[in-house]
Structure 1
């Protein structure tokens, strides 16, 4: 939803269904779960809006997604496959492990750039 919001501004359930390739009932169920969890709201026109808590989580997942996608592409993996794999990795790794991995790779890049 965050990606679509950045691209289109306003997002509806049908937009999510098209973008993600899921059936509308599956998206409707997910939207209900997220709304009940306090992560998004729906306005009277049917547009979805992330709450502050929802946006924080979405930004964290998006950062991971970009990081893993870029690392996989840099390793020579086809960009389409890297996108798919990043989607799985971003949810499977703990925050602690992600932060340590990110710091490790940044230090490694800095070392390579100074030599």
Structure 2
């Protein structure tokens, strides 16, 4: 069994990742919507996340309190500078994880789906290793 302090630290890291996962998903999606359509509306966010409109409204309120988005009732959602920076970090992590999974032979659809969970829990050290593998010669 691992050392108790190390095991506790690992579980703490996972709990912290779970706490930021929702915010990261929202800001990444909001950035994608703004970049592709020029705006992000709560109804579009709800549809793409597969959740109810009131769930999005509540989450947007939390994101506003955290300084990640700006929004007024019945208006588009905008990312703050901090929110945009978070979205860009999330997109980078997602692309690296997808690239790694594709490199080891996972099909595109599965890689995209699996990356949604992995990207929130992977360390910078592991991401760097994934990037090195992606840039290396083909496997096999």
TM > 0.5 fold call: yes
> Among 104, 119, 122, which residue is 1:90 paired with?
119
Measure, in 2, the Cα distance between the counterparts of 1:95 and 1:71: 14
| 2:45 corresponds to 1:16 | yes
Q: 101, 110, 114: which is aligned to 2:129?
A: 101
Say if 2:84 is the partner of 1:48: no
TM-score, length-scaled by structure 1 = 0.81
Q: Give aligned pairs, total.
A: 109
Q: Distance in 1 between matches of 2:74 and 2:31?
A: 19
Runs of 5+ in structure 1 lacking a partner?
none
Unaligned runs of 5+ in 2: 1-29
Give TM-score, length-normalised by structure 2.
Answer: 0.68
Give 1:102 shift: 4.4
Structure with the larger RCO, 1 or 2 (CA within 8 Å, 6+ apart): 2
Cα shift at 1:57 = 0.6
Q: Is 1:39 paired with 2:68? A: yes
| Alignment deviations for residues 76-112 of structure 1 (CA, whole Å, 9 cap, x no partner) | 22222211111111111233442x3245326x52xx3
